[in-house]
């Protein structure tokens, strides 16, 4: 498969990518404690995978209230910025391009993870039902727990959060990242504002879809002003079926997901950002995105488009050849195969994924996967 279209260069913002394979944001929970600081082990993990044409870091919280899982890294303190610097230096030494995913979980958190044990914050005081937070119960050990009823943010607090996103973007650039991705997917804070299920506000950020998109719009504008729109991407996770209730939180299924997300794409197009990343449902028998939606996204958005979700190289190649995608992201295969692009391009077999070490721990299941040996 050395002639695969995925093995061709592409311009993304100010960067020329060597191929069209993406390492997407993957939560691994390896940050140093206390302080949620990126480590040299994390630097090695990303360095190993720097043959990806494009990389996005695991979600990194923009403030203390943004954390929903123990041991995830932050990007809001000087120590965290320095921690990430060793990651970006390692990636750049290998010729890689890496953006930081800016993350705030909103209501998907727990008192144990919040400053002073407070309630998590959210658009509205509506408790999530199909998702859990992860708290530490002992050094190196933890458990999934039900999030409590969150506290609704005031209008001024929402505006303050917009400023925190912009500052986190500046921090990411100071840490050596090539740009940032706004996490607006998977039922987290920005997704909560977009969703009519999670957002029942009566101020300028609630009610109509235009108002519910206001938080995203202001973040995109503020981050673009802070670091430039060509250093910015946004990730969505639209779902077109809510039959599997255990998975609804992945994308907060809307009554009209096509209209909701095409309007959201219009926000991004107006801002002129570098790319849009779409995380498809990735469980067995998950609903596929309708072709009508893919075509509408391509018609409305002039930047680069990334798709992720149980893709094979063959399926990804077809999507790119059809003109509906520019890059394809591979999550679980990249965890188990640090040299994934070379394996895909040469038809080499893949390492199996080990469940042990997926979340938290040491180098086992993290940096100890072997490269291909012929």
In angstroms, the CA 118 to CA 111 distance is 5
Run of H or E residues at 219: helix 214-227
CA-to-CA distance for 146 and 127, rounded, in angstroms?
9
69 is catalytic: no
Tokens of 48: 């190993």
Nearest in space to 157 (alpha carbons), one of 106, 115, 109, 110: 106
Catalytic option among 69, 76, 165, 188: 188
**Rounded alpha-carbon distances, angstroms, from residue 201 to 13, 122, 159, 209:** 36, 10, 14, 12
With both helix axes pointing from N to C terminus, report the angle between 155-174 and 214-227 in degrees, rounded to the nearest 10. 30
- DSSP string covering 284-309: TTPPPPPHHHHHHHHHH--SEEEEES
Tell me how far the alpha carbon of residue 249 is from its chain's centroid.
Answer: 15
Is the Cβ–Cβ distance between 185 and 65 less than 8 Å? no
Q: Token pair of 170, please?
A: 């500046």
Distance CA 336, CA 138 (A): 27
Nearest to 67 by CA among 165, 134, 143, 137: 134
Handedness of CA 372, 177, 132, 247 (dihedral sign): negative
Question: How far, in Å, are 48, 123, 162, 216, 241 from residue 208 at the CA level?
Answer: 45, 14, 20, 14, 22
Q: Which residues contact 338 (CB under 8 A, 6 or more apart)?
A: 48, 49, 367, 369, 371
**Angle between the 214-227 and 257-271 helix axes, to the nearest 10 degrees?**
20
Which positions are annotated as active-site residues?
188
């Amino acid at each position: 498969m050395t002639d695969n279209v995925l093995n061709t260069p592409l311009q993304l913002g100010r960067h020329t990518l060597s191929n069209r394979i993406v390492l997407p944001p993957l939560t691994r929970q390896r940050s140093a404690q206390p302080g949620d600081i990126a480590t040299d082990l994390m630097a090695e993990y990303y360095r190993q995978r720097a043959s990806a044409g494009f990389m996005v870091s695991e979600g990194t919280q923009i403030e203390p209230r943004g954390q929903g899982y123990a041991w995830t890294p932050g990007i809001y303190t000087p120590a965290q910025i320095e921690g990430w610097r060793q990651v970006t230096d390692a990636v750049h030494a290998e010729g890689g391009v890496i953006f930081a995913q800016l993350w705030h979980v909103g209501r998907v958190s727990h008192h144990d993870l919040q400053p002073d044990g407070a309630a998590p914050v959210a658009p509205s005081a509506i408790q999530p039902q199909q998702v859990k937070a992860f708290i530490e119960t002992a050094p190196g050990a933890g458990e999934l727990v039900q999030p409590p009823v969150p506290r609704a943010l005031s209008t001024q607090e929402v505006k303050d959060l917009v400023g925190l996103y912009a500052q986190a973007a500046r921090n990411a650039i100071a840490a050596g990242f090539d740009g940032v991705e706004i996490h607006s997917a998977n039922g987290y804070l920005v997704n909560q504002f977009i969703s009519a299920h999670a957002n029942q506000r009566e101020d300028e950020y609630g009610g109509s879809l235009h108002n519910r998109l206001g938080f995203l719009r202001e973040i995109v504008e503020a981050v673009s002003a802070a670091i430039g729109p060509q250093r910015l991407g946004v990730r969505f996770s639209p779902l077109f079926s809510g039959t599997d209730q255990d998975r609804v939180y992945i994308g907060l299924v809307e009554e009209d997901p096509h209209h909701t997300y095409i309007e959201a794409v219009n926000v991004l197009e107006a801002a002129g950002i570098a790319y849009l990343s779409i995380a498809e449902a990735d469980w067995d028998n998950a609903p596929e995105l309708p072709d009508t939606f893919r075509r509408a996204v391509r018609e409305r958005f002039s930047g680069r488009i990334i798709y992720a979700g149980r893709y094979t190289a063959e399926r990804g190649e077809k999507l790119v050849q059809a003109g509906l995608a520019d890059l394809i992201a591979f999550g679980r295969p990249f965890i188990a195969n640090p040299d994934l692009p070379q394996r895909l391009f040469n038809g080499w077999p893949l390492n199996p994924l080990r469940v042990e070490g997926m979340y938290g721990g040491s180098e086992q299941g993290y940096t100890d996967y072997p490269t291909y040996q012929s």
